[in-house]
């Protein structure tokens, strides 16, 4: 009970200044540190806003990220022509994002094999003997790090002779870890390289032709254009520019007059999201509905990221930093 506030209050007056002075000194020191940290933060913040940084690519400032792209625009050429019509001569390049789930799985598998090979080599350098593991037996992992367990018996699969290279190890067979993972890493490299070439070939072939809109999408676009023309007072001019007979669009005009225009917008919204849902869960198409567009000036990039581009459900935003993608 000698270090409580009650003790300080009832103690002689000669003992009161010491705790008070200590608290004042501690508070002053903490305030000094906070003030210095604020000065350091302001300096770094000003340098970040005023000067170019080496870890941020300048192309990010001129690029936008486009999400929810319809099927007929899911190619670099089609997307480039679409934005070039809106911003003539201001588009530098476009890049559609591919669905590379199989490539990501192969890359993760190669990374796992590489880590195991590095661990086996480190084990040999530390223990002065080659590590041996049992084929088919899983490795224990703690906090995402696999443990390295070596068996003392001589391996029956060494990977150094033709008989071992021409066959796969049997389940439960003792194998030389370094030889085994070297062979598996070579196979994984070939698999990753093959998948990369397939994706590049597909991307180049996808840009060689234009994907036409489906019939339902064309009907929905015509309905949306008719509603927009009706609301802007230019319906007659919009109807004459269509290829279909005027009679079919007069029915649409009659329906919109009764206030059913929201029904067409709802159906189009549902159709667009149903298309994206089918792409993610059923179709798994190689080309995704996302892309990046780079402009030649900041004004076009700012305008494209803030202004509505078309009637389709396309979401446009400023491109994130490459490290965040």
Q: Check residue 244 and give its pLDDT.
A: 47
- 144-155 pLDDT, tens digit per residue, is 677 777 776 778
- 255-300 pLDDT, tens digit per residue, is 555 555 556 566 555 555 555 555 544 445 678 888 999 999 988 8
Averaged over 175-201, what is the pLDDT? 92
pTM for the predicted model, two decimal places: 0.57
- 20-79 pLDDT, tens digit per residue, is 888 899 999 999 999 999 999 988 888 777 665 566 677 888 899 998 888 888 888 888
Length of the chain measured in residues: 325
């Amino acid at each position: 009970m000698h270090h409580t506030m009650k003790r300080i209050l009832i103690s002689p007056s000669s003992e009161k200044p010491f705790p008070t002075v200590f608290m004042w000194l501690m508070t002053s020191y903490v305030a000094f540190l906070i003030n210095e940290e604020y000065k350091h933060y302001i300096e770094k913040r000003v340098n970040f806003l005023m000067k170019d940084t080496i870890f941020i690519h300048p192309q990010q400032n001129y690029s936008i990220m486009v999400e929810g792209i319809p099927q007929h625009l899911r190619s670099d050429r089609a997307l480039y022509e679409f934005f070039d019509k809106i911003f003539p001569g201001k588009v530098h390049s476009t890049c559609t994002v591919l669905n590379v789930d199989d490539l990501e799985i192969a890359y993760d598998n190669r990374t796992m094999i590489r880590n195991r090979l590095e661990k086996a080599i480190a084990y040999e350098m530390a223990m002065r003997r080659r590590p041996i593991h049992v084929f088919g037996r899983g490795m224990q992992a703690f906090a995402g790090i696999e443990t390295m367990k070596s068996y003392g018996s001589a391996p029956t699969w060494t990977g150094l002779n033709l008989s071992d290279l021409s066959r796969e190890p049997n389940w439960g067979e003792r194998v030389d870890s370094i030889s085994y993972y070297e062979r598996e890493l070579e196979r994984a490299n070939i698999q990753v390289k093959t998948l990369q070439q397939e994706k590049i070939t597909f991307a180049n072939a996808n840009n060689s032709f234009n994907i036409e809109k489906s019939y339902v999408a064309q009907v929905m676009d015509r309905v949306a254009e008719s509603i927009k023309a009706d609301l802007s007072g230019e319906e007659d001019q919009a109807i004459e520019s269509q290829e279909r007979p005027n009679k079919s669009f007069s029915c649409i005009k009659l329906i919109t007059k009764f206030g059913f225009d929201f029904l067409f917008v709802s159906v189009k919204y549902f159709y667009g999201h149903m298309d994206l849902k089918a792409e993610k869960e059923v179709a798994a198409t190689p080309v995704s509905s996302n892309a990046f567009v780079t402009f030649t000036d900041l004004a076009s990039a700012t305008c494209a990221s803030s202004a509505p581009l078309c009637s389709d459900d396309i979401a446009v935003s400023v491109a994130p930093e490459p490290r965040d993608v």
